[in-house]
Amino acid sequence: MKQRILIASIWILAIWAIIFLLPTWCFTTVVTLITAMAMFEFFSIIQKKHLPTYRYFGILVGCLIAVSTHFKFRPTEGWEFLLITTICLAVFLLQFTKRKTDNATSGVAVTIFAIFYIGWFFSFLVKIRISDLIVPDGRMMVAFLLIVTKSGDIGAYFFGKHFGAHQLIPRISPKKSVEGAIGGFLSSFLIAFLCAGLMPQIEFIHIVILGILLGILGQIGDLSESLIKRDCLVKDSSAAFAGLGGMLDLIDSLLFTSPIFYFYMRFLS
């Protein structure tokens, strides 16, 4: 517990400085480094399934997505569809160079999945940071998203630890409880109200909706990573952070909340 609190405190201070004190390119650099580390952990986990994934290609493309988002690189209309097509084509071409075809379909699918699940989804943090949506200051939107999402993680942990009595989905994560899920959702929902001042342009009803969405999606993100780890028979994505697991463990809840938050704010704009 002491390790968790200490590391979490350091993370909070570092993130505050990165968002509010450092220039945008520093924020993008940090997101890119986190993406690389999380994807490396993901491919390391998947290695236990003995699938022929393309780790370094996947990490490179995942990082380039964040960088291209920062520079608003859009050479054509519908750039995302061209990107999807190009990535799929490139992974298949890489597979053609392999002498063996064992598990080829699974390896191609997992590589493409990793690029979008981590690289593309997490890059929405950069998109939010540089966006001029209904809230003109992207820093405030990023802060709101991070605080509300991670409050759900913290609430789920503490409520589950002290009041957890009923397993949520034991086949995915035996330690997650119904009480923890409720506590996590309520934490995100309530913190959304307390942080409404970060986005004064947003009407009350939309703060309510965002609190509900982020509270639910954050836990789906956490359960999704737990499902992957369960399938690969590992407890944490890595031991990079004592008491907290790996980088992927730290950002799993943000992988779904970030894109949905962006699209909702874009809808409001």
152-174 pLDDT, tens digit per residue, is 999 998 999 889 889 999 899 88
- Say how far apart CA 63 and CA 120 lie, in whole Å: 9
Residues of the chain with pLDDT > 70: what percent?
97
The tens digit of pLDDT for each residue in 215-247 reads 999 999 999 999 999 999 888 888 877 777 899
**pLDDT tens digit sequence for 187-226:** 999 999 999 999 999 999 999 999 999 999 999 999 999 9
Model confidence, pTM = 0.93
Whether the Cβ atoms of residue 20 and residue 72 lie closer than 8 Å to each other: no
4, pLDDT greater than 70: no
